[in-house]
Amino acid sequence: MSNFLDGSVMRLQVEGKNVFHEVEVSIEGSTDFKEIATKDTDGKEVSPGSQSFSLSCSAKGSPDTTTENTDVILLGYWKNKTKVAFTLTDGIVGHVTYSGEAYLENFNMGSPNDEIVDFSYSLKGTGALTIGVVPE
């Protein structure tokens, strides 16, 4: 048994549906820090401020009809400035899950010669990121 999470089963769900032909997904978080330096401090002191997060995903374009999220559905969320719920998980009991709400921030579609169409996009988190575990 492996002690590592398997990236091949970690899936991004947007509005409860998997992203169709997903290839890769990543999540990133950051904290803004306030710096304080006075005549009475030795150097700079920092204090954590607001936090933000984003996700990026790449997938392959497909004309298939499916019940999952396709590039056309995701672009609709972007065009309509729709806030979406997301979950990033492998679905295995006890493993980590990330969830929250986000907007589609940007996208890129490439159609290289003699290749499958690539589709990538990013989600900009709004509100708090929830980090939990998959329940039994």
Mean pLDDT confidence for 80-99: 94
Question: Are 57 and 12 in contact, with CB atoms under 8 Å apart?
Answer: yes
107-118 pLDDT, tens per residue?
A: 999 988 888 889
pTM for the model: 0.84
Judge whether residue 50 has pLDDT over 90.
yes
Domain ranges across the chain: 11-133
pLDDT at 44: 87
Mean pLDDT confidence for 55-81: 87
The residue with tokens 């992203």 is: 19
Calpha distance 27→29 (Å, rounded): 7
Judge whether residue 39 has pLDDT over 90.
no
pLDDT at 1: 45
Structural fold of domain 11-133: Elongation Factor Tu (Ef-tu); domain 3 (2.40.30)
Mean pLDDT confidence for 80-91: 95
